[in-house]
């Protein structure tokens, strides 16, 4: 058994939402541009991609108010190429959840098995009325897609841990990656968007169950302490600008 050797962050571009969606209904009327990225895990057991960004055309068609910015270089195939891979090289896709900004590139990963929580796929295929926009991209459900449905916490490969952290969505997973020779990396996906919100136990204004969401924030904090993990925020521009992006890696080569 061996741990992951490298983690690379794949830049997917940016979107705009209202501040109130980031900080629990506070700050209405202030638009905020935020990053979207995916996490590529190079592991002896295979190449794993956690989340796949958004599809610019889909967002322009169905959520144009989020003002998507994504260059050709920020698509999943181009970002994988930056890291030295083709889309067909990815063995496993894990979707933290199936909101459109986390699954838009699944369709490119034709040789991968898609791992996700069993409740998430059910919800995305038949969303509650208030979740319809979040689940607007159904291209992950393409012909030929192979799904492996999960429940509870899972160690997907040696040192690649998925923790069920529901609230933002019903089947939401956070990711912790153990690395040879450095601290574990903890990606909480959409449990909380920014350091300020996380410090106050504030989740995003968009959620499936806010009580579960607060419990998941506290769980992520407990995990970060227990594992002495380095925390990554998914949708915070200031944090994102401090991260190393592909082709750079964690740890540096
Ligand atoms: Zn998101």
Tell me which DSSP letter residue 251 carries: S
Could you tell me which residues are beta bridge partners of residue 33?
16
Q: Which of 55, 101, 137, 190 is catalytic?
A: 101
Distance, CA of 126 to CA of 112 (rounded, Å)? 24
CATH topology (fold) of 6-240? Metallo-beta-lactamase; Chain A (3.60.15)
Spacing of C-alpha 59 from chain mean position: 17
Structure tokens at 159: 């040192």
| Residue ranges covered by each domain of the chain | 6-240
Ligand 1 centroid–CA 152 distance in Å is 21
pLDDT of residue 82: 97
Vertex 41, ends 239 and 178: CA angle to 5°? 80
Ligand 1 centroid–CA 53 distance in Å is 9
- The pLDDT averaged over each successive group of 10 residues in the chain (253 residues) is 92 92 81 96 97 97 94 98 97 98 97 98 96 96 95 98 98 96 95 95 90 98 98 97 97 82
| SS3 of 194-207 | CHHHHHCCCCCCCC
Ligand 1 centroid–CA 44 distance in Å is 28
Residue 236 designated active-site: no
pLDDT of residue 109: 97
Say if residues 168 and 204 touch (Cβ distance below 8 Å): yes
pLDDT of residue 153: 98
pLDDT of residue 253: 67
């Amino acid at each position: 058994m061996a741990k992951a050797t490298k983690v690379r962050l794949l830049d997917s571009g940016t979107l705009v939402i209202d501040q109130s969606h980031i900080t629990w209904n506070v700050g209405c009327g202030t638009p905020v541009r935020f990053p979207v990225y995916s996490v590529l895990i190079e592991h002896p057991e295979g190449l794993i991609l956690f989340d796949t960004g958004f599809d610019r055309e889909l967002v322009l068609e169905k959520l144009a108010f989020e003002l998507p910015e994504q260059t050709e270089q920020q698509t999943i195939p181009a970002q994988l190429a930056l890291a030295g891979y083709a889309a067909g090289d990815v063995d496993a896709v894990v979707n933290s959840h199936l909101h459109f900004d986390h699954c838009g590139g699944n369709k490119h990963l034709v040789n991968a098995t898609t791992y996700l929580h069993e409740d998430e796929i059910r919800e995305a295929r038949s969303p509650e009325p208030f979740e319809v926009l979040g689940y607007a991209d159904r291209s992950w459900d393409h012909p030929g897609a192979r799904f492996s449905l999960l429940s509870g916490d899972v160690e997907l490969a040696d040192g690649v841990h998925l923790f069920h952290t529901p609230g933002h969505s019903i089947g939401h997973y956070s990711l912790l990656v153990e690395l040879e020779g450095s601290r574990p990396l903890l990606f909480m996906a959409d449990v909380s968007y920014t350091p300020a919100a996380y410090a106050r136990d504030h989740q995003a204004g968009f959620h499936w169950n806010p009580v579960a969401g607060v419990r998941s924030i506290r769980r992520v904090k407990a995990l970060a302490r227990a594992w002495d993990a380095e925390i990554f925020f998914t949708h915070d521009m200031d944090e994102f600008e401090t991260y190393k992006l592909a082709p750079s890696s964690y740890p540096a080569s």
